[in-house]
Chain A
């Protein structure tokens, strides 16, 4: 195969060949690999950051924070601390989300290249990959890729003779959802409990081991080599909306072809579900969907024509999150689904703050009751209250507010289901007096 001349339309997955092992270093380079790094090493670090800003790359971990802006917060220059870190957040534990795994298993070198460029841009000489424990294959492939890079002076001292030193370490997590929260991730990396931290100080000034640190999602970093190689305008051009680039969208649920696809940012929900996932399975109708993983608000059929981008989904009252949808059909018990989600969130609470630690299990227990015919009318009041008590600002981090998003939207969109379940049980007062309803 010859080196590519024209830029790819789907840069992230261009080199990924399903059912095949990823390219080794030689093949990777033959397919345009490390062009971005080579270009970056010739630029001033701040110019790399400027390029990422100009490209409109927004973080793919869920919050959509502009990546270039994040890098720009890191102190640079002679006064800045000597030691800085870049950390890749590969703790992908959001239910329904499997995009980073696909990227790491399919093209680990692309990710490493992004990491190197990120490290160069912020002046970090050490990078950590924080990887979900279950991603055994990804870990294996990353290790192999890192070995190759070290042998070819792409990692270690004096990368490609540029004078830039970069050590990369792979750390596999012990398996907590909260490690996806960047400050909890840092705590965990330091060997402490995975508990989120108060801000300020922000990681950009005092993160890992107290040093300036940038934490980026895997998919975010995978975009970086291409932006540097092909330019900001090209990257913006890939998108159908204001945010640059493509997006790895995913869809799960009772669809004909659940999966993940790299599509232009801003592709509509309908196109993803109908054209790529093949629509609902026979006999099923779409009742609702979580647009970006378990911690986002339900949207319904009326939102199918929305473009999947950060701002459009936010306007509809939800979040694009990781861009990996979970679809609810009309035959699946919505309470069972929400119960399942709340069970997950309750289990994954780090236990630091009261509303999250003690509120999520209460919600879970109520939902279990509703789901198994032991609901009571008062239950819905408590659930509604929980969605307020565990809302933004009330808790230490975004875990519980995220957990409340599917619950509060389910209570709104699927009220009938909940009311029916709540009135199925025998009220305490009636039971006490011996009355039967």
Chain B
């Protein structure tokens, strides 16, 4: 929900204690913020109030003399000036207990076998109200459960009908296939029939549900109680938004990923790629041992071997490093420092390098604000240029879904209806939406809330954007060759952007079109000149694309060219699969020219299969490191656990450990490497402050990764060794692999567990927030790195070329386009087989569903033909990164023939 805070102007009393509060807010959020434990179910900080569960009952008094008072629902009651409330009044206390007793008439006694047990909001609230003895002696209602697909389990008997699930799924996230059926105490929350939940945000049901109806199925398949998980603050690695996650481990496996609240980014919600993308970390085929020439080698010897080769390469100039936008800054920096600046390449192809560099330049020189996800939510007019956000930055798409409600909030303000009165605001707004325009190569999952959309090839989209720029600033040239419809649309969009208070331009690198990025920049310049203060969000592709762009380095095409020219003996590849970056034959031929290929990676790829020296790297869960998100926010993620008997270690540690043999000194801690990285790259100087260093102590203690209730420490390994092993020591962070230490008041970047006395579920986050929906106490984690430079002039346009033959336009899949997440068992079931999308007019008689052979730049592959009316004519949509789809070039000519 959009936050609109006013300064405290109302004096209210709660149980005799005076508080100054914002009168436009409701008593429940105010009470929670003030530290009162007031139970609730149907209210959710992001979903607002609907008054359904009747749990947050308090007594409100008419005036000073009123002793009786009347029971009201705190979530539905504004904090009007001079109001007296009581949480402790007998009527309110008995009402709150009554609601629990009523809910419990149908709730089963299955806490011991329920996955929610111990982390259950319903349990917490039950204890909080004091209800303990069941008087209901009749039969409970029962329901049939559904198979909702690989992500979410369903156990409807536990349902307390708070309606949060459908409110989130349908109203907040725009899903259509989960609904509430039936009436009275038979209300049923599920699908019309068994089947996979379609929303890309379905996993949030697990956290939105206050009890165990919706549970994480991947977690359930290898279950551990919440209090037995070892956790550390994480950052999602599956797109560039940098959502904060909370991975939990037990027995050397990541068991689940939960949302980790970040006020400026993900708030309370993750996309399903982010939540379920972790499973690759547990895959059996991960490299776990260092191997030299396909034989095991001791880790120390392996590191030394790498160092030796690098040393030789440094002497001869015949070493090359290829970094990765999915690897940490520390690892990329270490590789770059080892091989030398001129020999470092970023692990992305030339087209993407050009886009990433342009993107950084634009963000530094734009007059627009750089929009965080939360800021995107408050935009009142949005133009999306080219991005299919539900696949390339899904959490941002969810934010835009909220942004279209802003006109409704304005209507509510005018009608004196508080913004938190969720259903009343929706009732007032009905179908009225703030403008959202989507320009893209084909239909997207956000089109249902878009005022208008336009489909075209990237060059056509850029042309339409150019026309909008012209309409905002007549000094800019008109776009060539637009038809009347497009010109009218440009007028509409220009008007909507110009008349908005907080317009937002969203673009990205997904189509590998510098023209689109430039027009996004031009739009911001034009809006700024028109006196409107725009915001901009530009999405690069990968989790650390921004970091690697700030670090710099060449592209893989140039790297391969040097290898092909036999200029290289040793190629060190960091967390990259070259076969995803260049055609396989080219990579094969290039690698054959090397003396040795060193690959450091956490997953087995076609590239690791060719490695002379393979160094098994830690996944996000086994490493600390720093990533930079789309807005230039450097965030540290922390190691969740130390993998047991393996050679797995952080990529940067492999490099650090090989450095002495190469005559380089990276120190021996993360902090030392961070300091070097920051020192060597002025643009990255801020990363030191992304989180407190390893020297930080909380009340003299480390911060434990385990809960104070963690159990089985002495028994877990007893089948191997009855001696209790010493817990691993963490020299790199202030966190401890232990249940001992100080918890309360941990710095926001280093909170490993959201828990507070009486609050065992995810709802406990309210105890960590400075204000409900606001930043965490102590400020939201991360450091914004991008310094602002003088505003650039308009970018000039390249000459526009009319559509020729069918050209490759990248399409993206939420499940499949991102390399790591697609390897997990649950997500793998959602990854489609290779396909190619063309407009029916360009199908040349080939039928929908036909197997076809695609060819482009000499590459050939099989795909299923999809005919899509919404696909831009002249474009062939190729799903990027899907298994079986080769590394073709965006914009290249493509032939589609019957197989």
Residues of B within 8 A of A395 (CB): 54
Which single residue of chain B is at the shortest CB-CB distance from A348?
B184
Among the interface residues A176, A351, A396, which one has the most CB atoms of the partner chain B within 10 A? A351
Once A349-B183, A350-B183, A354-B161 are accepted as A-B contacts, the answer to whether A389 and B102 lie under 8 Å apart by CB is: yes
B136 touching A362, Cβ below 8 Å: yes
Q: Closest CB-CB distance, A264 to chain B, in whole Å?
A: 37
Among the interface residues A358, A366, A385, which one has the most CB atoms of the partner chain B within 10 A? A358
* CB 8 Å contact bits of A346-361 with B (1 = contact, 0 = none): 1111111111011111
Residues of A within 8 A of B136 (CB): 362
CB of A147 closer than 8 Å to a CB of B: no
Once A353-B51, A394-B95 are accepted as A-B contacts, the answer to whether A201 and B103 lie under 8 Å apart by CB is: no
CB of A257 closer than 8 Å to a CB of B: no
Cα-based distance from A209 to B426 in the complex (angstroms): 10
A351 touching B102, Cβ below 8 Å: no
List CB contacts (< 8 Å) of B811-865 with chain A. Answer: none
Residues of A within 8 A of B163 (CB): 352
List CB contacts (< 8 Å) of B180-217 with chain A. Answer: 180, 182-187
Residues of A within 8 A of B427 (CB): 197, 201, 206, 210
B98 touching A355, Cβ below 8 Å: yes
Cα-based distance from A201 to B102 in the complex (angstroms): 30
CB of A415 closer than 8 Å to a CB of B: no
Residues of B within 8 A of A355 (CB): 54, 98-99, 102
A351 touching B103, Cβ below 8 Å: no
**Interface residues of chain B: helix, strand, loop or mixed (majority):** loop
Q: Closest CB-CB distance, B185 to chain A, in whole Å?
A: 5
A361 touching B185, Cβ below 8 Å: yes
Partner of A358 from the list B57, B103, B421, B423 (CB cut-off 8 Å) is B103
CB of B675 closer than 8 Å to a CB of A: no
Once A210-B427, A362-B138, A394-B71 are accepted as A-B contacts, the answer to whether A351 and B182 lie under 8 Å apart by CB is: yes
CB of B2 closer than 8 Å to a CB of A: no
CB of A18 closer than 8 Å to a CB of B: no
Cα-based distance from A353 to B415 in the complex (angstroms): 26
Residues of A within 8 A of B183 (CB): 176, 347-351
Residues of A within 8 A of B76 (CB): 198
* CB 8 Å contact bits of B135-147 with A (1 = contact, 0 = none): 1111101000000
CB of A365 closer than 8 Å to a CB of B: yes
A198 touching B415, Cβ below 8 Å: no
CB of A417 closer than 8 Å to a CB of B: no
B184 touching A360, Cβ below 8 Å: yes
Q: Closest CB-CB distance, A306 to chain B, in whole Å?
A: 29
Cα-based distance from A428 to B138 in the complex (angstroms): 13
Partner of A357 from the list B98, B185, B423 (CB cut-off 8 Å) is B185
Which single residue of chain A is at the shortest CB-CB distance from B415?
A201
CB of B361 closer than 8 Å to a CB of A: no
Cα-based distance from A365 to B102 in the complex (angstroms): 13
A354 touching B53, Cβ below 8 Å: yes
Size of the A side of the interface (Cβ < 8 Å), in residues, is: 38
CB of A134 closer than 8 Å to a CB of B: no
List CB contacts (< 8 Å) of B399-438 with chain A. Answer: 415-417, 421, 423-424, 427-430, 432
Once A354-B53, A358-B103 are accepted as A-B contacts, the answer to whether A206 and B428 lie under 8 Å apart by CB is: yes
Partner of A394 from the list B54, B135, B186, B424 (CB cut-off 8 Å) is B54
Once A198-B76, A354-B55, A396-B51 are accepted as A-B contacts, the answer to whether A347 and B95 lie under 8 Å apart by CB is: no
CB of A27 closer than 8 Å to a CB of B: no
Cα-based distance from A369 to B137 in the complex (angstroms): 11
Once A349-B184, A353-B54 are accepted as A-B contacts, the answer to whether A389 and B421 lie under 8 Å apart by CB is: no
Residues of A within 8 A of B428 (CB): 201, 206, 210
Q: Closest CB-CB distance, B418 to chain A, in whole Å?
A: 10
CB of A77 closer than 8 Å to a CB of B: no
CB of A434 closer than 8 Å to a CB of B: no
Q: Closest CB-CB distance, B582 to chain A, in whole Å?
A: 54
Residues of A within 8 A of B98 (CB): 355, 385, 389
* CB 8 Å contact bits of B166-189 with A (1 = contact, 0 = none): 000000000000001011111100
Partner of B186 from the list A193, A351, A369 (CB cut-off 8 Å) is A351
Which single residue of chain B is at the shortest CB-CB distance from A378?
B135
CB of B70 closer than 8 Å to a CB of A: yes
CB of B32 closer than 8 Å to a CB of A: no
CB of A283 closer than 8 Å to a CB of B: no
B54 touching A197, Cβ below 8 Å: no
CB of A163 closer than 8 Å to a CB of B: no
CB of B72 closer than 8 Å to a CB of A: yes
Which single residue of chain A is at the shortest CB-CB distance from B139?
A365
Residues of B within 8 A of A198 (CB): 50-51, 76, 421, 423-424
B99 touching A357, Cβ below 8 Å: no
Q: Closest CB-CB distance, B423 to chain A, in whole Å?
A: 6
List CB contacts (< 8 Å) of B241-285 with chain A. Answer: none
B430 touching A201, Cβ below 8 Å: no
Size of the B side of the interface (Cβ < 8 Å), in residues, is: 45
* CB 8 Å contact bits of B117-140 with A (1 = contact, 0 = none): 000000000000000000111110
Which single residue of chain B is at the shortest CB-CB distance from A364?
B138
List CB contacts (< 8 Å) of B14-28 with chain A. Answer: none
Which single residue of chain A is at the shortest CB-CB distance from B163?
A352
Which single residue of chain B is at the shortest CB-CB distance from A210?
B430
CB of A200 closer than 8 Å to a CB of B: yes
A206 touching B415, Cβ below 8 Å: yes
B424 touching A201, Cβ below 8 Å: yes
Q: Closest CB-CB distance, B840 to chain A, in whole Å?
A: 33
Residues of A within 8 A of B135 (CB): 378, 382
A354 touching B103, Cβ below 8 Å: yes
A396 touching B52, Cβ below 8 Å: yes
A359 touching B184, Cβ below 8 Å: no
Residues of B within 8 A of A385 (CB): 98
* CB 8 Å contact bits of A420-437 with B (1 = contact, 0 = none): 000000001000000000
Cα-based distance from A362 to B432 in the complex (angstroms): 42
B424 touching A358, Cβ below 8 Å: no
Among the interface residues A355, A360, A389, which one has the most CB atoms of the partner chain B within 10 A? A389
CB of A161 closer than 8 Å to a CB of B: no
A359 touching B102, Cβ below 8 Å: yes
Partner of A393 from the list B50, B55, B72, B105 (CB cut-off 8 Å) is B72
Cα-based distance from A365 to B139 in the complex (angstroms): 9
Partner of B180 from the list A193, A197, A200, A205 (CB cut-off 8 Å) is A193
Residues of B within 8 A of A206 (CB): 415, 424, 427-428
* CB 8 Å contact bits of B79-95 with A (1 = contact, 0 = none): 00000000000000001
Cα-based distance from A348 to B182 in the complex (angstroms): 11
Which single residue of chain B is at the shortest CB-CB distance from A193?
B180
Residues of A within 8 A of B95 (CB): 389, 394
List CB contacts (< 8 Å) of A187-210 with chain B. Answer: 193, 197-198, 200-201, 205-206, 209-210
B187 touching A351, Cβ below 8 Å: yes
Residues of B within 8 A of A205 (CB): 415
Q: Closest CB-CB distance, A208 to chain B, in whole Å?
A: 10
Q: Given contacts A200-B424, A206-B427, A351-B186, list 18 more A-B pairs with CB under 8 A.
A: A198-B421, A200-B415, A201-B428, A210-B428, A348-B184, A349-B183, A349-B184, A352-B52, A352-B163, A354-B55, A355-B98, A355-B102, A358-B103, A361-B184, A366-B138, A369-B138, A378-B135, A389-B98
A: which residues have CB within 8 A of B? 176, 193, 197-198, 200-201, 205-206, 209-210, 346-355, 357-362, 365-366, 369, 378, 382, 385, 389, 393-396, 428
B: which residues have CB within 8 A of A? 50-55, 57, 70-72, 76, 95, 98-99, 102-103, 105-106, 135-139, 141, 160-161, 163, 180, 182-187, 415-417, 421, 423-424, 427-430, 432
By Cβ-Cβ distance, the 10 closest A-B pairs, closest first, are: A351-B187, A358-B102, A210-B430, A365-B138, A349-B184, A389-B98, A351-B183, A361-B185, A354-B54, A351-B184
A-B contact pairs, 27 of them (CB 8 A): A193-B180, A198-B51, A198-B421, A200-B417, A201-B428, A206-B427, A206-B428, A210-B427, A346-B184, A349-B184, A354-B52, A354-B53, A354-B54, A354-B55, A355-B98, A355-B99, A355-B102, A358-B102, A358-B103, A358-B105, A361-B141, A361-B185, A366-B138, A385-B98, A393-B70, A394-B71, A395-B54
